[in-house]
Amino acid sequence: MVKAVVGANWGDEGKGKITDMLAKESDIIIRFQGGANAGHTILNNYGKFALHTLPSGVFYDHTTSIIGNGVALNIPILFKELNDIVSRGVPKPKLLISDRAQIVMPYHILFDQYEEERLGGKSFGSTKSGIAPFYSDKYAKIGFQVSELFDDEAALKEKLELVCEMKNVLLSNLYHKPELNASDLFDTMMEYRQMAEPYVCDVSAYLWQAIQDGKEILLEGQLGSLKDPDHGIYPMVTSSSTLAAYGAIGAGIPPYEIKKVITVCKAYSSAVGAGAFVSEIFGDEADELRRRGGDGGEYGATTGRPRRMGWFDVVASRYGCRIQGTTDVAFTVLDVLGYLDEIPVCTAYEIEGKVTMDFPTTGQLNKAKPVMETLPGWKTDIRGIKKYEELPENCRKYIEFVEKKLGFPITMISNGPGRDDIIYR
């Protein structure tokens, strides 16, 4: 069976923990989109890890971890990550890289930095990992597939010359930065070839056979519904589709094989980067939630930036679940809310005097004000509880309130950072 683990909101929902947990019963875990621009924080028996490219199932020795064709592959970052986890006692995982994945080039990172610098106060809040320039080149058909590392060297050199010619016009005239050298880039790509060669394969064919053999396959998404370039808060989005449906494309499998879509929702809201965030809170209220949140405070796993904080947003989350095709909701970091006497929830938006529960396009979203309801808190620590019935009454009421508003079943509840801090329902 193929399952997908994806996010309902802006990212940072806790997908890494859920993937790590479900990987125990899986044979193959696949990253199918995005790059090293966001991270998944994992806490397990080996320690605490922030993964950026490796799938979150790498901590089990029975699994195969795959970099799918939809990923923005930064080869040095991937192998640094691999070496880092092995140096900390994790058995070296079995890793495969799609021969159709495309490579994040050094100049993609430079262009990302230069463009954010040029935009100044109107920047997109990029992590400066090269993601937007990478996907721009991919769809402009001047990107480099992993397979090209192993093709004719003369053809590779010729393509690099052509790309450098185009890029240098921008570097000289728009950014006023040093030009690229095709020969240096070719040497870099030969280093990439040596690093990647043992792991490269036809991933789509491999997965086709795995499906025929009845293997348990897990697709791992990055970020969340609201960062999707089509269905999210455009233009403050990422550059690849964050939806489970894209898992079929980004891994190279038939869409009808995805049988379960586990959409991860936080019990409150957080976001890194710019863009509309209707239930956002500020000041001391936000600082307190940020300090208590996550598994050591709410800070970006990649950037270390303080996350923007807010209360649970029913409108955004319901939309995020719907657009993912959710079959199951995993409700995370519920334990964080135990300090509150009362818990606010955004249940609707008011836009120009009209109340709606539909998530609008960006222009309308920027005008939206939150309509809040308040639920009683449970004022106790719920970590360590394994059965739903043993949760405090007000805690269960909060879950059931959210579930009813979402319209999708909450089947997993995370009440702590560890992989065993989970309640099945």
Question: 196 exposed, middle or buried (CB, 10 Å; 0-12, 13-18, 19+)?
Answer: buried
The string of pLDDT tens digits covering residues 80-98 is 999 999 999 999 999 999 9
pLDDT confidence band for 419 (50 / 70 / 90)? confident
Binding site membership for IMP: which residues? Answer: 12-15, 37-40, 127, 141, 238, 305
The string of pLDDT tens digits covering residues 118-160 is 887 666 666 778 899 999 999 999 999 999 999 999 999 999 9
Binding site membership for Mg(2+): which residues? Answer: 12, 39
Phi/psi of residue 8, nearest 5 degrees: -90, -20
pLDDT confidence band for 244 (50 / 70 / 90)? very high
In the chain, the amino acid numbered 274 is A
Average pLDDT estimate for 226-243: 95
Residue 122 has what pLDDT? 67
Asked if the model's pLDDT at residue 40 lies above 80, the reply is no
Highest mean pLDDT: which range of 21-35, 273-287, 311-325: 311-325
For the chain, give the percent of residues with pLDDT over 70: 98
pLDDT confidence band for 48 (50 / 70 / 90)? confident
| pTM for this predicted structure | 0.92
Asked if the model's pLDDT at residue 272 lies above 90, the reply is no
pLDDT confidence band for 210 (50 / 70 / 90)? very high
pLDDT confidence band for 412 (50 / 70 / 90)? very high
Asked if the model's pLDDT at residue 382 lies above 70, the reply is yes
Inter-residue contact 247 to 32 (CB < 8 Å): yes
Residue 297 has what pLDDT? 84
pLDDT confidence band for 280 (50 / 70 / 90)? very high
Phi/psi of residue 85, nearest 5 degrees: -70, -35
Residue 123 has what pLDDT? 63
Residue 304 has what pLDDT? 75
- Please give the positions annotated as active site: 12, 40
Give the C-alpha separation, 332 to 343, whole Å. Answer: 16
Inter-residue contact 36 to 295 (CB < 8 Å): no
Asked if the model's pLDDT at residue 39 lies above 80, the reply is no
Average pLDDT estimate for 51-67: 91
Q: Got the DSSP string for 199-265?
A: GEE-HHHHHHHHHHTT--EEEE--S-GGG-TTTSSTTSS-SS--SHHHHHHHHT--GGGEEEEEEEE
Asked if the model's pLDDT at residue 252 lies above 90, the reply is yes
Residue 124 has what pLDDT? 64
Residue 302 has what pLDDT? 62
**DSSP secondary-structure letter at 180?**
P
Give the C-alpha separation, 223 to 363, whole Å. Answer: 22
Give the C-alpha separation, 425 to 13, whole Å. Answer: 19
Residue 266 has what pLDDT? 96
Binding site membership: which residues? Answer: 11-17, 37-41, 127, 141, 238, 301-307, 333-335, 414-416
Better-scored residue on pLDDT, 46 or 66: 66
Give the C-alpha separation, 10 to 368, whole Å. Answer: 17
Residues 6+ apart with CB under 8 A from 261: 3, 4, 6, 244, 324, 325, 326, 327, 328
Give the C-alpha separation, 227 to 240, whole Å. Answer: 9
Residue 303 has what pLDDT? 67
pLDDT confidence band for 169 (50 / 70 / 90)? very high
Q: Got the DSSP string for 88-151?
A: TTPPPPEEEEETT-EEPPHHHHHHHHHHHHHHGGG-----SSSHHHHHHHHHTT---BGGGGGS
Binding site membership for substrate: which residues? Answer: 301-307
Inter-residue contact 290 to 298 (CB < 8 Å): yes
pLDDT confidence band for 56 (50 / 70 / 90)? confident
Four-CA torsion 391, 225, 315, 123, nearest 10 degrees: 120
Binding site membership for GTP: which residues? Answer: 11-17, 39-41, 307, 333-335, 414-416
Whole-number mean pLDDT of the chain? 93
Asked if the model's pLDDT at residue 73 lies above 80, the reply is yes
